[in-house]
Structure 1
Amino acid sequence: MKGFTLLEVLIATVLTSLILSSVYGAYATNLESIALSREAARMQQTSRIFFDLLTKDVRGGMGDFLGVHGGFEGEDLDRGGRPADRLQMLTSASHDALGGVSTGLSRVAYEMAPDEKGERFILSRTQESLMGEASSTGVQTYELTRMAIGLDLIYLDSKGTEHKSWGSGEGEDLERLPTMVRVRLTLQDSSGQKRAFVTTIRPELAEGSQQRAP
């Protein structure tokens, strides 16, 4: 029986290597695509949870109430050249998943702070229940994500003028609340992929909200 020549063996080896390289390349590319899809889904879920919480709080937001101070106050902050705004408000919103609160008045704050190593930011929500069923639970802080690299808030007054910060007033003047809050949240996954999520929220007690609401 005639055997293979050295040239035929070399050709077969090269072809086999090319085929295996192609298969491995396709496999690696597929794994990378799956990983990127998972990270994208994780960012999407993180933004949805954040926006759900913030939307509830802002819609139920109010100015100083019955002698309780610390109404709607937005600070325009910057950390390392990135927007890291802070928002504090009194709200009547309920979050059953957070401390079992169903009714009452709370002071909540959203803010970004550097992590333990100072390499990334921690986006957190702090809640202090003031009145109602959970008023004895004290101050509780919940870490929302470590993927946030930017939080930019813009406030619109009743004339449509944009403000980078917002201070709460006193008395019965509903202008103490913005008619709309525009939120831009920027996230970055472990691979360095960045994505910005944007939404707008209208406080229900703000002047003109009922007329402007869709």
Structure 2
Amino acid sequence: MKPLNKEKGFTLIELLIGIAISGMVISAIYSLYISQNKSYTIQNQVVEMQQNARIAMDMMVRDIRLAGYDPEGTSGAGFVAATSNSIQFTADLNGDGDTDDSNENITYSLYDSDGDGDQDLCRDTGQGNRSLVENISSLTFEYYDENGSAIATPVSTANLSQIRKVKVKLIAQTAKPDPDYSRNSGYRQRTLTSMVIIRNLQ
């Protein structure tokens, strides 16, 4: 019989080196996973922020365009209050000669509806503030007359009927800060601006 070949095992140093290399590989893989997961989370927040900003702006522009709609000429529809950070207006949407029905008296403003410290865009139709989208850090309005001249805010009662254009600007932000983003306390932001022509009051 031929004697069995002697097999030589790993030395302690070889084992330690192998463990160290394995640890480095695992650490690199874990770091890559954390980085990719963080990037994915941030990207999702940015997409959600952009969607919220667009939804908020589209809804406000659509509603503000209806300000002063008065097919019967008897409702007195128009602007009720106009400040730099809130707006209230009426429209006789169903043409019954008044603005007492649902969605005919609308106010837009920012409000912390959840008490969590984050501002929400709220729409009030007489039933209290209803949150439309969250994490809107700024909402501003500017008003212009038929000559394109700015009207000082808050707009006086006498000048409410002079409003012909409304410039809306909102800034949306991500729900959570990014520690690696140095601006805006770590919150990524998106700014949208729109000029609304009030055709019903032309």
- Normalising by structure 2, report the TM-score: 0.73
**Residues 122 and 131, structure 2, Cα contact 8 Å, conserved in 1:** yes
Task: Quote the offset at 1:114 in angstroms.
Answer: 3.3
User: Which of 159, 182, 195 is matched with 2:189 structurally?
Assistant: 195
Q: Which has the larger radius of gyration?
A: 2
Any conservation in 1 of the 2:68–2:76 contact (CA below 8 Å)? Answer: no
Structure 1 pair 30/154, CA: closer, same or farther in 2 (3 Å)?
same
Q: Is the 8 A contact 1:123 1:144 kept in 2?
A: yes
SS of residue in 1 equivalent to 2:137 = strand
State the number of aligned residues: 179
- CA pair 56-195 structure 1, distance change in 2 beyond 3 A: same
Task: Give unmatched runs, 5+ long, in structure 1.
Answer: 77-84, 95-102, 129-138, 208-214
% identical equivalent positions = 20
Relative to the length of structure 1, the TM-score reads 0.69
Aligned partner of 2:61 among 55, 62, 66: 55
| AA in 2 matched with 1:205 | N
Which structure dedicates a bigger proportion of its chain to helix? Answer: 2
Task: Tell me which amino acid in the other structure corresponds to 1:199.
Answer: T
1:62-81 equivalences under 5 Å are 62=68, 66-68=74-76, 71-76=79-84
The offset of 1:21, in angstroms, is 0.9
- Structure number having the greater strand percentage: 1
Alpha-carbon RMSD: 3.2
Among candidates 158, 168, 171, match of residue 146 of structure 2: 158
Q: Which residue of 2 aligns with 1:204?
A: 199
Q: Determine whether 1:121 maps to 2:156.
A: no
* 8 A contact 1:185–1:197 mirrored in 2: yes
**Alpha-carbon deviations, 1:162-207, whole Å to 9, x = none?**
346363767xx99622324232333342235231321212222354
Q: Distance in 2 between matches of 1:119 and 1:149?
A: 11
1:30 match: 36
Cα pair 2:136 2:173 within 8 Å, conserved:
yes
Which residue of structure 2 aligns with residue 183 of structure 1? Answer: 169
Runs of 5+ consecutive residues of structure 2 not aligned to the other structure: 1-6, 95-100, 178-185
